[in-house]
Structure 1
Amino acid sequence: MSRSQLLLVGGLASDVARETAESAMHEVEGAVLVHHDLRSLTEGIVRRTVRTAEDVRETVLELAHGCASCTLREDVLPLLRRLARNRVPRIVLHLDPAMEPESVCGALSTLLVEDEDGPGTVCEVLDIAAVLVVIDPENWFRRATGDETLVEMGLGAGTEDERTVAHVATGAVAFADVLVLARSADPQTLAVLDRLAPAAVRTTGREVGQLLERLPAEARRGEADDPHGPLLRGTPPLHAEHGIVLTEFDARRPLHPKRFAEAMEVLLDGVVTAWGRIWLASKPEASLWLESAGGALWLGYLGPWLCAAPDEWEQAAPLRSATAALRWDPYYGDREQHLLVLVHEADPERITEALNGALLTDAELAEGQDGWRALPDPFQLFEDEPCGSQS
């Protein structure tokens, strides 16, 4: 018998997402729709709904520690694995707006769930058919460029949730296989979607069965991108359109940490989102991931560059080692600055100028790594907590 098919439906347009999820459930006989409502999470309460064509079962769950991660680990994953074991043909997981599709898919493929057959991941017993993200073009662009937090919008997964609505909105779109538009979109929003998710299929309909059949072979279907691989799937337009332009910054020299901290504002003002890899002169071994959205910027530690840890070559993914070999520099190795910046009001030339100004000068470069490490560094977090982030 074939494995269960999992369809994830998310997005901030929760009403249309619910309609889409229910439609997807009714398309397949014997399908099940699962939804966890996190609006009372701060009180330690999660409301779970399991729906079929004939029945609706609602359960109130009380969590000792109310957070989205605990909900995922303690109930969502075991439930999905149990449904897959029961050979449910299609499982539709309607995500609460506070649950990001990429994080959920990462948990499906990596977190172990204990059942009668022993520990295992959810992806060992089912296939992710697609990730659908529903957006309402009437307000999506405003939310994707604003600085409102999820907590301020009443969607936070706990009072300590510091994520911006823009971060969740843009991240979900970039991860989607299918974008379901609640209504016709204006040209500016379409221009953003063309550049942020060029490989995603778009539809204004609620029925998704035929779309799933037409998904290209290269659709991600829940697979995360390698942070050391290409920064974007698909082929986005490179020209400016309705004020929207995708600009690229590519350099090999290290960034001066203090000057870069001062220049980071160019990745926030008039920018929809920015993402990519950087390296700081004060941390020459560390490969860092940068991401910005909604007036907030995050830096995360990806691990060492291959040139700084030769033993990592054998452990590296084939794409990473091949890319590193192709772009290898005798002096810099595989280290690079590579950012994509999606602009809606900012001047791309000003962004490039500011980032170039943050690179080491010839004189600073000549001091070598011992001199670089002594540079004033506002990003000390990475020295004490290698897996931390700075915002």
Structure 2
Amino acid sequence: MRSQPTRTSRVPLLLVAGLPEEPVTAVTDAVRATDPRGTAVVHHDLRTLPEGVLRRHVRHGEAVDTAVLELAHGCVSCTLREDFLPLLRRLARTPGVRRIVVRLDPALEPEAICWAIEHVVVDDAPVAEDVEVRAALAVVDLPSWLDDAGGDEELRERGLGGSADDERTVAQVAVGQVEFADAVVLSGEAERWRARRTEAVLARLAPTAPRAALGELDVPALLDRIPADARRGAVDGAHGPLLRGQPPMEPVAGVAVVLFEQRRPFHPERLHEALDALLDGVVRARGRAWVAGDPDSVLWLESAGGGLHLGHAGPWLAALPPERWAEVPVEQRLRASLHWDEHYGDRMQELVVLVHEADPGDVLRALRGALLTDDELASGEQAWRAPAESAITWHEDPCEPAPRDQHG
């Protein structure tokens, strides 16, 4: 009986993600070509979901296996979890498999896949006991990516949705694929100004990820350029760093990073109005917010293009008695120790906004205008705790007719 592999014997795994199918296929083939006999390529094709099935393709050497899988419980996530993760484990233990390449369907985001590999238990252990994510590659179509990243089109409108009730946007997937990438491959030709603006966005969204053109792709050279401290499948929590690496801070071709840090809470209703400034001409906004009406809770704000989500991310450290501080993430405790305020503790606004058409000054003015005024602050904490039932506690854009309890 074969013994369980140790961490040092894990099989390297690479993920290839992107919206354009042909370039993603070309990159996958280029990766496989560097070791065709020792590489196993996995692809779950979701295009047949309207028929209630998906197709799984596995290639190892010259052998190709295709299977049609019925949806487990009618759920894409369940089907992938029940088939994909055990498949990775089997491949990792197959003689002759020296590397696994996962070609992701356009609707799949590498972050969710990597989280499942690390955390979902299969046969008493996560699959990360058998495989090691070496790199996530994102394929970007230069002529169209920036429009996708700044838009509000839903995946299902483009026929890419993971299921009938998939409400994700194209922007969410396009931005998420690049933001999580360890390296980026550029496909297609764009006019000079668009190419410059797109690359300026990429340099700020994934500043540590080396880039290469598909027509000149040298896979080993690109992988060698990935820095030692790259993400490599690591998933950040809501209390992790908002800026990975050191993105350029000076504006280029209208692309700029806006940092917003303040030591007073947002007024819920004014913040709701200010959110529009994060949805037009903005590629990405993310961060932690402190809102009057719920001052004990960290609110996580995240947008991609014209879609936005705002939800709970646990309590502020200052809202807990010291004996419970060990319950919060280590990243939060470390940040609190660096930014502790005598009166407010670790409560503060920390937002990063990546704009490509919006005026950074307009974004800052909108956010500043949503803060409590001096008079409102002077009225005391009990007064501005009052609007606790505000709709801002849970928010999705496009707006719903009424607030939704996302845990209900």
SS at match of 2:92: helix
Q: Tell me the distance in 2 between the aligned counterparts of 1:8 and 1:345.
A: 31
Q: Tell me the distance in 1 between the aligned counterparts of 2:347 and 2:51.
A: 46
Pick closer, same or farther for the CA change 1:368–1:124 going to 2, 3 Å: farther
**Residue equivalent to 1:175:** 180
Return the letter of the residue paired with 1:360.
L
**Residue equivalent to 1:101:** 110
Aligned length: 384
Counterpart contact for 2:394–2:406, Cα < 8 Å: no
Q: Tell me the distance in 1 between the aligned counterparts of 2:236 and 2:72.
A: 33
Pick closer, same or farther for the CA change 1:311–1:108 going to 2, 3 Å: farther
Q: Could you tell me the TM-score, scaled by structure 2's length?
A: 0.89
Return the letter of the residue paired with 1:81.
R
Q: Could you tell me the TM-score, scaled by structure 1's length?
A: 0.93
Deviation of 1:323 after TM superposition, in Å, equals 1.6
Query: Aligned runs of 1:218-233 on 2, under 5 Å?
Result: 218-233=229-244
Q: Tell me the distance in 2 between the aligned counterparts of 1:148 and 1:318.
A: 37
Q: Tell me the distance in 2 between the aligned counterparts of 1:33 and 1:333.
A: 50
SS at match of 1:152: helix
Pick closer, same or farther for the CA change 1:89–1:368 going to 2, 3 Å: farther
**Residue equivalent to 1:146:** 151
Q: Tell me the distance in 1 between the aligned counterparts of 2:71 and 2:340.
A: 50
Counterpart contact for 2:281–2:305, Cα < 8 Å: no
SS at match of 2:156: coil
Pick closer, same or farther for the CA change 1:237–1:214 going to 2, 3 Å: closer
Query: Aligned runs of 1:1-391 on 2, under 5 Å?
Result: 2-28=9-35, 29-86=37-94, 88-114=97-123, 119-184=124-189, 186-205=195-214, 206-309=217-320, 310-375=322-387, 377-379=390-392, 381=394, 388=407
Counterpart contact for 1:272–1:342, Cα < 8 Å: yes
Question: Structure 2, unaligned stretches of length 5 or more?
Answer: 1-7, 396-402
Pick closer, same or farther for the CA change 1:385–1:347 going to 2, 3 Å: closer
Deviation of 1:302 after TM superposition, in Å, equals 1.1
Deviation of 1:11 after TM superposition, in Å, equals 0.8
Counterpart contact for 1:3–1:126, Cα < 8 Å: yes
% identical equivalent positions: 51
* 1:4-45 CA-partner distances (Å, limit 9, x unpaired): 111011110221111211221232232100000011223320
Pick closer, same or farther for the CA change 1:296–1:191 going to 2, 3 Å: same
Q: Tell me the distance in 2 between the aligned counterparts of 1:53 and 1:207.
A: 21
* 1:341-365 CA-partner distances (Å, limit 9, x unpaired): 1112211111111111111112222
Deviation of 1:53 after TM superposition, in Å, equals 2.4
SS at match of 2:142: coil
Q: Tell me the distance in 2 between the aligned counterparts of 1:345 and 1:208.
A: 33
Deviation of 1:156 after TM superposition, in Å, equals 0.4
